[in-house]
């Protein structure tokens, strides 16, 4: 049957500095001073393809398809095959920097080594040095350039401070951060880095640094407020002050309502303080920097973004990829990046990011909520169901979660489990609230699938009482009676009302026409509705079958058979296929017409 008839509804001032990060201050084919770009060590490796042109063309195709992973490989191979144009290498570096996995991160660093100094190049080179533990080199690379410093003017002190921390000199790291005089969110993020480093080093300045952060706390975005609370709670746990740690988390839960449930499940962990590494510190900073660059424009769909919005989002994705490279279990970065990829409809890249969030991470419910949505869009119903079931263990009485579980169980053919989910959802709400009707509707579908028609009818009656003007509900309730040959007058009334409410819905028009034909024998009234429905949905096998039946009872048997033969080519469901084959063999045999024919013979 058609989906409308057999299923329920389907169920969420830095701009200029940023621009400089992407700028290439050289002419194509040359470094400053006219020196040709060397192929570096990439060219020394055996290329995977010897065709430069083939790799370039492949990269163009993949980029048009927004296939970042394959575009990354094709661009990289083009450079290996001999492409030495700096803008091309820069594009390859950018693409590798937003691709998934440690290999892509290493490619970005490798490509950055082929380019002249610049904001993004220096960040990636510096990250390569951090990853290898070359701290002095990292600090040198993280120095802001004297010309067009851009974002590096803000980030350089923090990046260099973490390099000093990695080299075993936390006091020098804190001293460097104390020399910065940033205000607002930039200043708060810098103080947070100093507090992290001081807490790890058991520095007496830690408490004062956290006090400074509390002064700015009300102006922090929710996720940064969450990070601050967890960081301070961990420090208090390391000081053997569990009561203080608990007090900080409870206060944050009050101040950040969207994350209150998450904060309730945070367990302060002193090891996160004592075992802090420079890579972890930089990973957190890159997430915080990416959050700072977010603004309301990020919520716009990709097709409505301005070019500068897209470039800024790409830069944020690069920061988040680098954070995950340094700290693969940083859930907050995984979730943030997955949300950005979801907005860009890069669902296949977003899903594994969320699947990589550990089940015991306090943010796992946030990840599961996003994963359920993405998996449903990908039609990966088992993954969506698993995510929702984990979420339900976290929030066992959440009606929305239970309803989504019921929907997916029904789509998977697990009707009994769907009934259980809808029943649990109904137990948590008032039975006469208008918004409850989809729960009754969903459970009715499941009961019908199990052949428990009386229970289905009871639920449909509840749903109709609550929502008498919902076209799809009216359509299902009326059409399901037409199929069973019951309640003819009521079915006709429901379908007539549904058609009036949704006159442009071809499936509903077809349902009403089938009721007129099968229940009332009114070929004249049904025929134009069937024709318009078939025009709107010319490959729907059920509509084609119905139109053929109307032709048959108009005496147009050749046209009827033509419709049925076409319908067989539209991959009908088994029940519809059986009706079509029977009609081709001996006619449709509708009772109302057979009885009329029998009376005429008498």
Digit-coded pLDDT (tens) for 458-467 = 999 999 999 9
What average pLDDT does the segment 366-380 reach? 96
Provide φ and ψ at 555, rounded to 5°.
85, 10
What average pLDDT does the segment 76-85 reach? 92
**Is the model's pLDDT at 398 over the cut of 80?**
yes
- With beta carbons less than 8 A apart as the criterion, state whether 403 and 442 touch: yes
**Is the model's pLDDT at 413 over the cut of 60?**
yes
What average pLDDT does the segment 55-73 reach? 89
Choice among 260-264, 322-326, 539-543 with the minimum mean pLDDT: 260-264
Choice among 78-87, 206-215, 248-257, 430-439 with the minimum mean pLDDT: 430-439
pLDDT, residue 301, reads: 54
pLDDT, residue 456, reads: 97
Name the pLDDT band for 599 (thresholds 50, 70, 90): confident
What average pLDDT does the segment 81-95 reach? 93
- What is the maximum alpha-carbon separation in the chain? 108
SS3 416: helix
Choice among 302-306, 439-443, 569-573 with the minimum mean pLDDT: 302-306
What average pLDDT does the segment 250-270 reach? 89
Provide φ and ψ at 36, rounded to 5°.
-60, 145
Name the pLDDT band for 148 (thresholds 50, 70, 90): confident
Mean model confidence pLDDT for the chain: 87
Where are the strands (E) in 368-496, listed by range? none
Provide φ and ψ at 30, rounded to 5°.
-145, 150
The share of the chain scoring above pLDDT 90, in percent, equals 72
Measured CA to CA, the distance from residue 284 to residue 457 in angstroms comes to: 55
pLDDT, residue 145, reads: 74
Pinpoint the alpha helices (H) of 256-377.
260-264, 271-274, 278-292, 307-326, 331-343, 347-355, 364-377
First CA to last CA across the chain, in angstroms?
Answer: 37
pLDDT, residue 428, reads: 87
Measured CA to CA, the distance from residue 15 to residue 229 in angstroms comes to: 29
The share of the chain scoring above pLDDT 70, in percent, equals 88
0.95 surpassed by pTM: no
Choice among 311-315, 484-488, 493-497 with the minimum mean pLDDT: 311-315
- With beta carbons less than 8 A apart as the criterion, state whether 294 and 316 touch: yes
Name the pLDDT band for 558 (thresholds 50, 70, 90): very high
Stated length of the chain? 602
Choice among 217-221, 248-252, 304-308 with the minimum mean pLDDT: 304-308
What average pLDDT does the segment 109-113 reach? 96
Residue 30's beta-bridge partner residues? 36
H or E element, residue 296: none
Q: What's the pLDDT tens digit per position in 6-19? A: 433 222 233 333 33
What average pLDDT does the segment 465-489 reach? 95
Measured CA to CA, the distance from residue 565 to residue 545 in angstroms comes to: 9
Choice among 56-70, 274-288, 318-332, 524-538 with the minimum mean pLDDT: 56-70
**Is the model's pLDDT at 26 over the cut of 60?**
no
Choice among 311-325, 339-353, 587-601 with the minimum mean pLDDT: 587-601
Long-range contacts of 530-535 (CB under 8 A, 24+ apart): 532/506, 533/506, 533/507, 533/509
What average pLDDT does the segment 394-412 reach? 95
- With beta carbons less than 8 A apart as the criterion, state whether 108 and 77 touch: no
What average pLDDT does the segment 555-559 reach? 97
pLDDT, residue 220, reads: 75
Measured CA to CA, the distance from residue 8 to residue 28 in angstroms comes to: 57
- With beta carbons less than 8 A apart as the criterion, state whether 262 and 368 touch: no
Q: What's the pLDDT tens digit per position in 382-395? A: 999 999 999 999 89
**Is the model's pLDDT at 303 over the cut of 60?**
no
pLDDT, residue 25, reads: 38
- With beta carbons less than 8 A apart as the criterion, state whether 403 and 421 touch: yes
């Amino acid at each position: 049957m058609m989906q409308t008839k057999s299923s329920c509804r389907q169920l969420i001032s830095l701009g200029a500095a940023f621009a400089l990060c992407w700028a290439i201050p050289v002419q194509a084919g040359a470094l400053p001073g006219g020196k040709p770009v060397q192929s570096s060590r990439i060219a020394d490796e055996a290329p995977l393809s010897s065709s430069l042109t083939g790799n370039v063309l492949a990269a163009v195709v993949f980029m048009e398809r927004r296939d970042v992973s394959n575009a990354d490989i094709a661009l990289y191979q083009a450079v290996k095959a001999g492409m030495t144009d700096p803008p091309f290498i820069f594009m390859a570096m950018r693409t590798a920097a937003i691709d998934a996995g440690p290999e892509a991160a290493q490619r970005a660093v490798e490509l950055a080594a082929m380019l002249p100094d610049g904001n993004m190049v220096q960040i990636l080179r510096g990250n390569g040095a951090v990853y290898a533990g070359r701290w002095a080199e990292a600090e040198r690379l993280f120095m802001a350039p004297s010309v067009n410093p851009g974002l590096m003017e803000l980030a350089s002190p923090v990046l260099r401070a973490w390099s000093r921390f990695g080299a075993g000199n936390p006091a020098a790291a804190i001293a460097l951060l104390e020399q910065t005089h940033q205000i607002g969110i930039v200043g708060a993020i810098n103080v947070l880095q100093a507090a992290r480093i001081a807490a790890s080093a058991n520095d007496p300045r830690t408490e004062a640094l956290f006090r400074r952060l509390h002064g700015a706390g009300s102006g922090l975005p929710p996720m940064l407020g969450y990070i601050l609370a967890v960081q301070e709670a961990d420090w208090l746990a390391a000081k053997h002050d569990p009561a203080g740690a608990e007090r900080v988390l409870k206060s944050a839960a009050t101040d950040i309502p969207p994350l209150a449930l998450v904060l309730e499940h945070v367990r302060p962990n002193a090891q996160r303080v004592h075992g802090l590494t420079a890579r972890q510190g930089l990973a957190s900073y890159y997430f915080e920097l990416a959050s700072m660059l977010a603004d309301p424009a990020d919520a716009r769909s990709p097709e409505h973004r301005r070019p500068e919005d897209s470039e800024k989002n790409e830069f944020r994705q690069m920061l988040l990829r680098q954070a995950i490279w340094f700290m693969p279990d940083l859930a907050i970065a995984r979730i943030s990046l997955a949300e950005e990829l979801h907005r860009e409809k890069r669902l296949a890249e977003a899903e594994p990011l969320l699947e990589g969030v550990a089940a015991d991470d306090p943010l796992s419910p946030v990840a599961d909520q996003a994963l359920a949505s993405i998996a449903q869009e990908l039609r990966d119903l088992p993954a969506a169901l698993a995510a929702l079931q984990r979420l339900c263990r976290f929030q066992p009485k959440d009606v929305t979660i239970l309803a989504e579980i019921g929907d997916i169980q029904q789509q998977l053919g697990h009707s009994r489990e769907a009934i259980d989910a809808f029943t649990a959802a109904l137990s948590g709400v008032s039975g006469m609230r208008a918004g409850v009707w989809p729960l009754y509707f969903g459970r009715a579908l499941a009961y019908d699938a199990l052949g428990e028609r009386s229970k289905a009818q009871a639920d449909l009656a509840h749903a109709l009482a609550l929502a008498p003007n919902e076209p799809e509900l009216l359509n299902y309730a009326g059409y399901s009676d037409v199929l069973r040959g019951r309640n003819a007058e009521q079915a006709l009334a429901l379908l007539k009302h549904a058609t009036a409410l949704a006159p442009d819905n071809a499936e509903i028009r077809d349902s009403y026409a089938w009721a007129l034909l099968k229940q009332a024998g009114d070929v004249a009234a049904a025929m134009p509705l069937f024709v318009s429905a078939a025009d709107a949905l010319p490959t729907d096998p059920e509509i084609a079958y119905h139109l053929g039946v109307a032709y048959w009872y108009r005496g147009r048997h050749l046209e009827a058979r033509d419709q049925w033969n076409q319908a067989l080519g539209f991959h009908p469901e088994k029940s519809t296929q059986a009706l079509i084959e029977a009609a081709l063999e001996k006619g449709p045999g509708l009772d109302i017409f057979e009885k009329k024919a029998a009376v005429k013979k008498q």
